[in-house]
């Protein structure tokens, strides 16, 4: 996989699709702190997440917790 694909930044809608949830759910998760903090924003304020951040979030959410 090319480096630019690994580091690709997704907006809210595409990040939600990548995670496999509805945009409104992802937005709610952002507000409540469930979703990872954005990696940055565009000049007009649109939030962005790197693919690697979303992959880490999914891995952490899906991995079993050991007590």
**Domain that residue 33 falls in:** 3-62
Least confident range of 1-5, 28-32, 34-38, 59-63: 1-5
In a domain, 10, yes or no: yes
| pLDDT above 80 for 67 | no
The pLDDT score that the predictor gives to residue 43 is: 95
pTM of the model: 0.81
pLDDT tens sequence across 8-44: 899 999 999 999 999 999 999 999 999 999 999 999 9
Cross-strand pairs, 47: 41
Contact at 8 Å (CB) between 14 and 5? Answer: no
Nearest to 54 by CA among 66, 62, 46: 62
**Domain holding 7: CATH number?**
1.10.1660.10
């Amino acid at each position: 996989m090319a480096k630019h694909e690994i580091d690709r930044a997704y907006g809210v809608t595409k990040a939600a699709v990548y995670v496999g949830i509805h945009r409104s759910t992802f937005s709610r998760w952002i507000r409540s702190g469930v979703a990872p903090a954005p990696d940055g924003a565009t000049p007009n304020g649109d939030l962005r997440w790197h693919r690697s951040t979303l992959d880490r979030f999914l891995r952490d959410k899906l991995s079993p917790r050991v007590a």
